[in-house]
Amino acid sequence: MTSAAPTWDPVTLEIFRNLFYSVAEEMGVTLCHTSFSPNIKERRDYSCALFDGSARMVAQGEHMPVHLGSMPLSVEAAIEHVQMQPGDVVAVNDPFCGGTHLPDITLVQPVYLGDQSEPVFYVANRAHHSDVGGMTPGSMPLSRSIYQEGIRIPPVKLVRGGEVVDDVMALILANVRTPTEREGDLTAQIASNRTGERRLLAMVEKYGVETVTAYMGHLQSYAERMTREAIRLIPDGTYRFEDCMDDDGQGNGPLPIVVTLVVDGDAACIDFTGTSEQVPGSINAVYAITLSAVMYCFRVIVPFPIPSNHGTIRPLQIVAPEGTLVNALPPAAVAGGNVETSQRIVDVVLGALAQAMPGKIPAASYGTMSNLTAGGTDHRTGEDFAYYETIAGGMGARPTADGLDATHCHMTNSLNTPIEALEHSYPFRVRRYAVSRGTGGAGRFRGGDGIDRDIELLCPAQITILSDRRTHGPYGLEGGEAGKPGRNLLTKPDGSERELPGKASVWVEAGTVISIRTPGGGGYGSPVESA
């Protein structure tokens, strides 16, 4: 084994940046290729990352932004609550213990070197499971408390000494609608972490543990320096922006999210004082989500690619008052906070940055993941099914170009479920899948258009929709117009049609068509200038 820890140099730093990144990416490939559910295999609703021995994130794959900024809190929770040994894997999904919402199950594994008593590294992945129990199939309900949303897993060993803990696995599978699929996806997550472990140990074998750990620290310091330099280019000052969630699905709304951004030299304070108190409905976000959204916003203002790691967050102070929509306390319902409120947090932080950096920040993108879940008994097999998908929309117009049509933006980085995979796996028929023309906001540069997606249910099912921007369209900038709000429609087999609210849960009969019309992005610049 080579053992040397020279002072860092830029070339070696870049080599290790790519080495660490490639490990996280290979973990993702393992998870994708060995998973069971279309949600993970096709949509790639998962994330993988590496951590140093102090649980500081070193590298992440190009996966889901909403997962990755929050995942360190899950790793910290696993270390705090469980005494881990070689070969152990800890599972956690509790939103009030480092998680985001219950469908996102995180597996954390320590990586030991030889007979050392403490882990040298940690590897972790998070995957969105298409059902974890709760009051409606898909586990994204219009709930009023966390207890209605599914099985809540505190940090607990799922694997001990390299062997699955059968009792824990059985307990999880007994509380979900699709146990075979869940077991397959959990096993894929275990395999993903083992891939990360093997690659890190091979790296240590080649370069030496001192060099590998040293460059983990150097890479975090580099990300911190670059983030501080990006903040230093912003004029010192105080910038305020406010936007709102339409409603919480329980009759409350609109609900303001307020941010005050204070820039001082190479550091920034992001203060959400003035934001709505937490609400009865399921759009409350825990602190981990707010942290993740803020980290994302400041990473993207760096004008060149940098690694996403612990260093990015060091220059930032986040003030998120407890008991509010951006730092909810138990037993708040949180299923939609991870997917809906996270998008609005990004909108307000970018809105404040647009004041601080005129001509640098795009208009608001579609601002909702338009979550669609469906579940029932598949008439083809006689087995229960649970489907979950987020649907893309229009990107906000950029200061120098139109927004892109029909694309996943900001806190989601997933793909769509291909029609062939969707119709093969579920009792569905896709009636329409097209760009929703004319939904982007007008401007010197127009906002991107949203999506029309019509799905016919071929058997009775319960449908749940968690969406936003159905009342208030995504904002434009510099005189650009807002994008058009989205719509949700239900067409019965007899052809009669009715509009559904942004947050709805209904039982439907076979032959019903659910239509999701996602919002367009906001425009940039006065429309007159484009004439």
For residue range 370-408, list pLDDT tens digits in order. Answer: 999 999 999 999 999 999 999 999 999 999 999 999 999
- Look at residues 173, 157, 199, 249 and name the one whose alpha carbon lies nearest to residue 18: 199
Pairing of strands 487-491, 497-500: antiparallel
Mean pLDDT, to the nearest integer, of 77-105? 96
Residue 131 one-letter amino acid = D
Q: What is the DSSP string of 2-32?
A: ----PPP-HHHHHHHHHHHHHHHHHHHHHHH
Chain centroid to CA 347: 15
Which residues on neighbouring strands pair with residue 318, listed in sequence order?
270
- CB 155 within 8 Å of CB 99: no
Mean pLDDT, to the nearest integer, of 196-224? 97
Q: Which residues in 311-320 are b (16+ Cβ under 10 Å) and which e?
A: bbbbbbebeb
- Predicted pLDDT at 171: 98
pLDDT tens string 329-344: 999 999 999 999 999 9
172 in the Ramachandran plot: left (φ > 0), alpha (ψ -120 to 50) or beta? alpha
End-to-end Cα distance, the chain = 67
- 167 Cβ neighbours under 8 A, 6+ residues apart: none
Alpha-carbon distance of 132 to 141, in angstroms, equals 11
> 149: how many CB neighbours lie within 10 A of its CB?
26
When pLDDT is cut at 50, 70 and 90, the band that residue 307 belongs to is confident
- Predicted pLDDT at 529: 65
423 in the Ramachandran plot: left (φ > 0), alpha (ψ -120 to 50) or beta? alpha
- Predicted pLDDT at 531: 53
pLDDT tens string 171-193: 999 999 999 999 999 999 999 99
pLDDT tens string 468-513: 999 999 999 999 999 999 999 999 999 999 999 999 999 999 999 9
Mean pLDDT, to the nearest integer, of 163-170? 98
- CB 59 within 8 Å of CB 72: no
Mean model confidence pLDDT for the chain: 95
Pairing of strands 384-389, 461-466: unpaired
Residue 414 has pLDDT above 50, yes or no: yes
pLDDT tens string 3-28: 444 588 999 999 999 999 999 999 99
Q: At what angle do helices 209-232 and 10-34 cross, to 10 degrees?
A: 100
What sections of 44-177 are H helices per DSSP?
65-68, 71-81, 166-173
Mean pLDDT, to the nearest integer, of 107-128? 95
Domains with residue ranges and CATH for the chain: 10-223 (3.30.450), 362-531 (no CATH)
Quick check: helix, strand or coil at residue 489? strand
Mean pLDDT, to the nearest integer, of 76-88? 96
**pTM of this prediction exceeds 0.75:** yes
When pLDDT is cut at 50, 70 and 90, the band that residue 530 belongs to is low
- What percent of the chain is predicted at pLDDT more than 70? 98
Quick check: helix, strand or coil at residue 212? helix
Alpha-carbon distance of 221 to 314, in angstroms, equals 9
Element (H, E) at 401: none
Residue 1 has pLDDT above 70, yes or no: no
When pLDDT is cut at 50, 70 and 90, the band that residue 426 belongs to is very high
Quick check: helix, strand or coil at residue 142? coil
Residue 417 has pLDDT above 90, yes or no: no
- Predicted pLDDT at 512: 98
- Predicted pLDDT at 5: 45
